[in-house]
Amino acid sequence: MRYVSTRGGTAEADFEEILLGGLAPDGGLWLPKTWPWFAAQDFRAMQGMTYAEIVARVVQPFVDGWIKPDELLAMTRQAYAQFDHPAVIPMVQTADNDWLLELFHGPTFAFKDLALQLLARLMDRALERRGERVTVLGATSGDTGSAAIAGCAGRRNMDIFILFPRGRVSDIQRRQMTTVVAGNVHCIAIEGTFDDCQSLVKAMFNDTAFATSRRLTAVNSINWTRIVAQAAYCVAAAVRLGAPDRKVAFSIPSANFGACLAAWCAVKMGLGVDRLVVATNANDILHRFIQTGHYTPREVVATLSPSMDIQISSNFERLLFELYDRDGNSIHRLMGRLPRLGSFDVTARALMRARSIIASHRLDDDGIIAEMRRMWRDYGVMVDPHTACGTAAARGVGIDADVPVIMHAQAHPAKFPEAVAAALGEPLKSPAKLSSIQGLTENMTTLPNDVDIVQGYVRDNTEADG
């Protein structure tokens, strides 16, 4: 499998290059040169597979020639063996045709574990093969950081630096990162927003000399491997509900657009999907885009769903590339307008293509609390504030009643005790693994939103390559 940049200004790459790299050299994001196609009989065969087997089957075409199928299967089995549910991603029926897809049974109780436990193992294999060491650099709005640290902590071939917005992640999310004791883990609290953290990371990747000398690599969803691993759980959920012999819909809490893009990718691989619902909170750039065709970032608003407090959605560029028939020059021009003009408009044709499968919905904090209460009252299910955006959206966009709706439950509600207490009037009992971190010592460094200072910190805590 070969990979191309969304901006069309760099040579093709192989899987190992994009696995260990971050952005493409031209500033774009990597996508497969061609989409593998799964026929109906391929999806039917998955109905009898375990979750680890489905992941290996979905991922294999993207790594073909780099790792043997039996070795990949052993790796997926190892990655998901530590999840606390035998199904890995169990489904809970709520209304007649509504299904909660529980994606939070991994080590950090969030959906990011499903991709990052596999990504860390794939990276480790590549580094052992090369005899190299890398610096993993990422920004988090809450869950990516802890999941990345859980996957990378203690690995001898990598250092990991995670930037998060100071005061803008939940107490538990922060402690899941800062209480990990490992010499290769560095947590950096940035005085700013998640978008600031993400901009710092991109600036360091775009500094070619620095990125090369420190061998920077990404674990955010700019890393393509994250996306394909998430596409696998969309496929796994759909085949449980009868795919390919009936279409399903997905309702997905969205901010950086990675999870929704993963479902889109499953469609490109042949999965029959009736609708993809992009569910946003008050930081609604994706909702506004689907409604108007205008992409205009605004100031980030702090909400009860902090992992969605994002106004610049990195993975949206990958969708644009597909909407523009993979015309990298057009994407280069569009993305160039953001820093210069602060917004861009897409063509009527591109917007029509997006709307042919994607719907959108917005929920503010009052709506989130009301939805959490409704789910508890009507079904005895407590959802976290991000998932509440998705369950409300599933009702709000008018999906046909005969279409099964798979609603992504992206985090355990105990990670957001303030929101749960506001909805229920009392706290939710936390799993022992979460409550046990409350008394542990935290280790983090607070830095200003200044790329020179942050880059200096990374430089001082790593060794130059060669």
Q: Which residues are catalytic?
A: 112
Among 57, 107, 119, smallest CA distance to 258 is for 119
Q: Return the C-alpha torsion angle 136, 137, 142, 148, nearest 10.
A: -10
How many other C-beta atoms lie within 10 A of the C-beta of residue 446? 10
How far is the C-alpha of 453 from the C-alpha of 302, rounded, in Å? Answer: 25
**Which residue type sits at 334?**
L
How far is the C-alpha of 383 from the C-alpha of 412, rounded, in Å? Answer: 7
Contact yes or no for 305/386 (Cβ under 8 A): yes
> Edge-to-edge, what's the strand order for the sheet holding 30-32?
13-14, 2-5, 30-32
How far is the C-alpha of 98 from the C-alpha of 391, rounded, in Å? Answer: 9
- Those residues whose C-beta lies under 8 Å from the C-beta of residue 242, and which sit 6 or more positions away, are 248, 404
Concatenate the DSSP letters of all residues of 288-335 into one string: HHHHHSEE--------S-GGG--SS-TTHHHHHHHHTTT-HHHHHHHH
Contacts 24+ apart (CB under 8 A), 179-182: 179/437, 179/440, 179/441, 179/442, 179/443, 180/149, 180/150, 180/153, 181/443, 182/149, 182/153, 182/154
How many other C-beta atoms lie within 10 A of the C-beta of residue 181? 10
**Which residue type sits at 391?**
T
> Edge-to-edge, what's the strand order for the sheet holding 445-448?
216-218, 134-139, 158-165, 185-191, 445-448
Strand ranges in 91-157 using DSSP code E only, listed in sequence order: 91-93, 98-102, 134-139
**Strand 2-5 and strand 13-14: pairing?**
antiparallel
How far is the C-alpha of 264 from the C-alpha of 230, rounded, in Å? Answer: 11
| Chain Cα centroid distance, residue 190 | 21
Token couple for 434 = 């979460």
In terms of Cβ atoms closer than 10 Å to its own Cβ (0-12, 13-18, 19+), residue 376 is middle
Helix (H), strand (E) at residue 405: strand 405-409
